[in-house]
Amino acid sequence: MSEADCLFCRIVAKEIPADVVHETERTLAFRDIDPQAPTHVLVIPKDHYRDAAALAAADHGLADEVIKAAHAVAEQEGIAGSGYRLVFNTGPQAGQTVFHVHGHVLGGRGLTWPPG
């Protein structure tokens, strides 16, 4: 499942280059082009789901795979021990700008609360 005009679907299809740091059969992780922390990686399912709610509704274990991939990225990037933030913006009011579900793995510095 993909959408022809979706930026992240085009990255999955290798039509648009990305700095890929982790890949499984059903997930892809790549560096954010506008990083908000020393480590800022986006983790996506390769199939297209509009947002976290759509991914959760799919109910076939893919959300679990995305979170496991995010933790694998944190370990690979050396931030799992010190801590990292995993953020899924869902909808425009939450700051979602690309409507293909993606988790932001943020770390490598102290992260304040509340964010934004």
Catalytic site includes residue 60: no
Phi, psi of 97, deg, nearest 5:
-115, -25
Phi, psi of 46, deg, nearest 5:
-70, -30
> Annotated catalytic residue: which of 40, 48, 100, 102?
102
For 112, the token pair is 């304040």
- SS3 of 46, please? coil
Q: Which residues are catalytic?
A: 102
